[in-house]
Structure 1
Amino acid sequence: MKFDLHTHHERCGHADGMIRNYIEAAIDAGFDVIGISDHSPYFYSEADQLHPQIAMAKSEFPRYVAQVLELKREFEGKIDVLLGVESDFFPEYADLYRAEYDKYPFDYIIGSVHQSGGVSIFNRRRWNGLNERQRIEQKEEYYDLIQQSARSGIFHILGHIDAMKGFFPAFSDIPTPKVDETLKLIGEIGVSIEVNTSGSTKDVGGWYPSDEMLERAYFYGVDITFGSDAHKPGRIGEDFDRVRQKLKEIGYKEWVYYKEKKQRRVAL
């Protein structure tokens, strides 16, 4: 069974194509399940669309949900279209985001930390001039936010959990026990992490998380799902078979996806 739970489209302002294009690409690639999970609005802002090149407008959110549900019905029997969303995680606004998501029949919610210390995790300049201790502090702050997101109870999947390495590959080598602590917590709570193949579009190349982190995730009993994080229809399912093979080599026998907020386990 082939599934991809992490996709975007034109509403977020930095992806190409309409939702329909991603569904059709998934069918062409032989997928059984396609999840639509565009970037959630900045609900805390008074502005309708705080960052037009990052996330959809608040006024678009109900239309987004309605369109996915309509396409779910249209493509029934050809592919299972799931309603998801990729949500930012801001601890101070967690209750606000939870209340917004409770209004809609999501199949799953991906929780992703995109900002740490008020700065984008993809801002390569954030590392300029930092000594080793300060780099460790930056990494630990990031994983503390991921731990908080896991504890929040809002999310079924945690997105790209080492994506801070995207434009700073040395991130992976910054030593801290916080990574193992975080994976242990995720395993205990029962939320899943994704293998996100969009690292291929960044300086680091490869996947999030690293193979080493996937091995540690297996040790701590963390469930795994798959997401291409496609911002172009042509990236749907990128490296799906390679990821599946790597997980088998690590020792995984199955991975998961979500429908109607229930975890479905699938043999690798």
Structure 2
Amino acid sequence: MKFDLHTHHFRCGHADGNIRNYVEAGVKAGLEVIGISDHTPYFGDPSDQAFPHIAMAKSEFSAYVEEVLSLKKEYKGVIDVLLGIESDYFPEHVEAYRKMLDAYPFDYVIGSVHSTGGVSIFNKGRWRGLETKEKVAVKTEYYRLISESARTGMFQILGHIDAMKGNYPDFSNIPAPGPVDECLKVIADCGVAIEINTSGKTKLSGGWYPSDDILERALRYGVQVTFGSDAHKPSRVGDEHEAVAARLKEIGFTSWVYYKQKQKIEVPL
């Protein structure tokens, strides 16, 4: 079975195409399941659209849900369209996000840490001038936040769990195996899946998130995995699905999962 749970569209302000474009791309790519998972609005900010080029406006949220649900009905029997969302994780705004996410019938929610210390994880300037000890502290905090997000019970999937390497490839070499392993143990204990996200190829790091090293350790701790292209243009829907499946089998995984009505569905590789 071929599925892709991580796709975006124009409402977030940094993706091309409308939702129908992504559904049609999924059909063309031979997917049986496509999840639409655009960025949540910034629910912790009083304005309608705090960051127009990063996330959708609050006033667009219900229209987003309605459009996905309408396409789900329209494409029934052709491709299974799932209502997903990618939510930021901000510890100080957890309850505001929980309240909004619980108000809609999401099939799954992807939880992603996109910033630490108030700075984007993709900001390569954040590393400038830091000593190894300081880099370890940043990496440790990143994985502490991911662990914390898993414990909230808000998310079925955790997004791109080493995306800090995206614009700073040396992130993978920062010596902090303890925090990474502790994070993977928490994820396993919480029964949350991690995604293999192929959008890393669009960043300086290349390849996908997470690294093979993390996937090998994830398998050891019993973490389950899913697939998401993180497509920001329709042509990337399902990108490298077969290559990811092959690599997972080489590592030792025998299955991966997707979610429908927040119920985990296991699919043999």
TM-score (norm 2): 0.99
**Distance across 2 between alignment mates of 1:232 and 1:6:** 12
Q: Give the AA of the match of 2:227.
A: F
Match of 2:90 in 1: 90
Match of 2:131 in 1: 131
- Gaps spanning 5+ residues in structure 2: where? none
Within a 5 Å distance, the mapping from 1:1-268 to structure 2 comes to 1-176=1-176, 177-268=178-269
Identity %: 63
Secondary structure at the aligned position of 1:264 is classed as: strand
Q: Give the AA of the match of 2:260.
A: K
**Distance across 1 between alignment mates of 2:56 and 2:219:** 35
Deviations 1:148-193 (A, max 9, x none): 0000110000000000000000000111110011011111111000
**Distance across 2 between alignment mates of 1:143 and 1:188:** 15
Per the TM alignment, residue 42 of structure 1 is displaced from its structure 2 partner at its CA by 0.3
Q: What is the Cα-based RMSD across aligned positions, in Å? A: 0.4
Per the TM alignment, residue 44 of structure 1 is displaced from its structure 2 partner at its CA by 1.3
Q: Give the AA of the match of 2:213.
A: E
**Distance across 1 between alignment mates of 2:96 and 2:43:** 7
**Distance across 2 between alignment mates of 1:253 and 1:115:** 33
Secondary structure at the aligned position of 1:252 is classed as: coil
- Gaps spanning 5+ residues in structure 1: where? none
Q: Give the AA of the match of 2:253.
A: Y
Per the TM alignment, residue 70 of structure 1 is displaced from its structure 2 partner at its CA by 0.3
Per the TM alignment, residue 197 of structure 1 is displaced from its structure 2 partner at its CA by 0.2
**Distance across 2 between alignment mates of 1:45 and 1:213:** 34
**Distance across 2 between alignment mates of 1:250 and 1:87:** 29
TM-score (norm 1): 1.00
Secondary structure at the aligned position of 1:134 is classed as: helix
Secondary structure at the aligned position of 2:106 is classed as: coil
Count the aligned residue pairs: 268
**Distance across 1 between alignment mates of 2:18 and 2:172:** 34
**Distance across 1 between alignment mates of 2:43 and 2:184:** 29
Per the TM alignment, residue 236 of structure 1 is displaced from its structure 2 partner at its CA by 0.4
Q: Give the AA of the match of 2:155.
A: F
Deviations 1:203-261 (A, max 9, x none): 00000000110000000000000000000000001110000001101111110000000
Q: Give the AA of the match of 1:127.
A: W
Q: Give the AA of the match of 1:41.
A: P
